[in-house]
Structure 1
Amino acid sequence: MSTVRLTKQGRIGILTLAHPPANALSTRVIEDLSARFNEIETDPSIKVVVIHGEGRFFSAGADIKEFTEVKDGAAFASLSEKGQRLFSRIEEFHKPVIAAIHGAALGGGLELAMGCHIRIAETGTKLGLPELQLGLIPGFAGTQRLPKLVGFPKATEMMLTSEPISAEDAVRYGLVNCVAESGKGLDEALALAEKIAEKSAVSVRHLMSCLNEARRGDFEQGMKKERTSFGEVFTSHDGQEGIRAFIEKRKPQFIDE
Structure 2
Amino acid sequence: MTEQFVSIERAETPLGQRVAIVRFDTGSKANALSQELMRQLTAAARSFEGDADTNAIILTGRADRFCLGMDLKDPEFQTALDLPLNERRQLLQLGPRMCKAWEDLEPMTICAIEGWCVGGGVALAASLDLRVCSRSSQFYIPEIERGLNMSWGSLPRIAGLIGPARTKRLTIIAEQINAETAENWGWVDYIAEDGMAMGKAISVADKIAAMPPVAVRMIKQGIETATKPLNRAVSATDMDQFALMQSSTDHAEGVASFLEQRDAKFTGG
Q: 1:162 to 1:83 in 2, by over 3 A?
A: same
Work out whether 1:196 is the aligned partner of 2:208: yes
Tell me the distance in 2 between the aligned counterparts of 1:207 and 1:121: 25
Aligned residue among 17, 23, 26 for 2:24: 17
Work out whether 1:56 is the aligned partner of 2:68: no
Look up the SS of the partner of 2:73 in the other structure.
helix
- Normalised TM-score (structure 1): 0.79
Aligned residue among 14, 33, 42 for 2:50: 42
Greater helix fraction, Structure 1 or Structure 2 = 1
Look up the SS of the partner of 2:93 in the other structure.
helix
Tell me the distance in 1 between the aligned counterparts of 2:102 and 2:227: 13
**Cα displacement (A) at 1:177:** 0.6
Tell me the distance in 2 between the aligned counterparts of 1:55 and 1:16: 10
Give the AA of the match of 2:149: I
| Root mean square deviation, CA, Å | 1.8
**Cα displacement (A) at 1:158:** 1.7
Gaps of 5+ in 2: 231-269
- For residues 194-248 of structure 1, the C-alpha deviation after alignment (integer angstroms, 9 at most, x for no partner) is 1100111111111121112112348xxxxxxxxxxxxxxxxxxxxxxxxxxxxxx
Aligned-pair identity (%): 27
Give the AA of the match of 2:8: L
4+ residue runs over 3 A deviation:
42-45, 72-80
Partner of 1:159: 171
Gaps of 5+ in 1: 219-257
Structure number with greater Rg is 1
Give the AA of the match of 1:32: Q
Tell me the distance in 2 between the aligned counterparts of 1:151 and 1:209: 22
Work out whether 1:28 is the aligned partner of 2:36: yes
Look up the SS of the partner of 1:154 in the other structure.
helix
For the Cα contact (< 8 Å) 1:129–1:142, is it kept in 2? no
Give the AA of the match of 1:53: G
- Normalised TM-score (structure 2): 0.76
Give the AA of the match of 1:161: I
Look up the SS of the partner of 2:166 in the other structure.
helix
Tell me the distance in 2 between the aligned counterparts of 1:20 and 1:191: 27
**Cα displacement (A) at 1:124:** 1.0
- Count the aligned residue pairs: 218
- For residues 36-76 of structure 1, the C-alpha deviation after alignment (integer angstroms, 9 at most, x for no partner) is 12222233442210011124211110111123121258355
